[in-house]
């Protein structure tokens, strides 16, 4: 029984969340969120892994058969990466506007709400 990759996934999630909590810079917080989200890639891919099984792309080296790595979780990981990229882009755009309006990207100095 081996669970090591699952624990790597959990560790990435928690260390990314910790990065957001101790962040003093919004860009650092966005990158920490990406780290936390990469935990989900590791979790998905390790859930679909099978020892000594090839990638689920058939051709001359892999004849069509059932003994390949799970393609469903790989497709979900692709969705995950697309969502992660779009969220990162939106958050970085927000960080840019905050830097322009308030002159700082330190979350601790952004206590006042502005309409």
Partner 1 sequence: MSRSVRYTLFFVGGGLVAVLFVWGVVGMPSFGSNFHPYRDLAIGATIAHGTANAISSVNFDQRAIDTLGEETIFFASVLGAAELLRPSKEERERRGDHTGVRHVMASTRFAGYVLLPVTLLVGLDVVAHGHITPGGGFQGGVVLATAVHLLYVAGSYDALERVRPVHLYEYGEVAGALAFVGLGFAGIAIAGSYLSNIIPYKGFGHLISAGNVEVLNFAVGIEVASGVIVMLSHFLTQAIALHGGPHE
By CB under 8 A, tell whether 49 contacts partner 1. Answer: yes
Six-digit token string for 6: 């699952």
Question: Measuring CA to CA, how many Å separate 87 from each of 37, 79, 93, 97, 115?
Answer: 11, 12, 10, 16, 23
Question: Measuring CA to CA, how many Å separate 99 from each of 6, 27, 76, 90?
Answer: 37, 10, 34, 14
By CB under 8 A, tell whether 58 contacts partner 1. Answer: yes
By CB under 8 A, tell whether 21 contacts partner 1. Answer: yes
By CB under 8 A, tell whether 109 contacts partner 1. Answer: no
By CB under 8 A, tell whether 61 contacts partner 1. Answer: no
By CB under 8 A, tell whether 2 contacts partner 1. Answer: yes
Size of the site for partner 1 (CB under 8 A): 56
Kindly report the CA angle at 79 between 75 and 84, in degrees rounded to 5? 145
CB half-sphere exposure, 48, CA atoms < 13 A:
18
By CB under 8 A, tell whether 68 contacts partner 1. Answer: yes
**Under the rule (CB under 8 A), what is the footprint of partner 1?**
1-7, 10, 13-14, 17-18, 21-22, 46-51, 53, 55-59, 64-75, 78-79, 82-83, 86-87, 89-90, 92-94, 96-97, 99-101, 103, 108
């Amino acid at each position: 029984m081996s669970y090591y990759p699952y624990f790597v996934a959990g560790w990435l999630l928690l260390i990314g969340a910790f990065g957001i909590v101790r962040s003093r810079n919004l860009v650092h917080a966005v990158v920490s969120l990406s780290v936390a989200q990469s935990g989900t890639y590791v979790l998905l891919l390790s859930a679909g892994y099978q020892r000594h099984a090839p990638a689920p792309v058939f051709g001359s080296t892999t004849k069509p058969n059932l003994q390949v790595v799970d393609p469903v979780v790989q497709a979900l990981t692709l969705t995950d990466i697309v969502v992660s990229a779009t969220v990162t882009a939106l958050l970085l755009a927000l960080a840019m506007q905050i830097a322009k309006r308030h002159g700082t990207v330190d979350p601790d100095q952004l206590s006042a709400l502005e309409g």
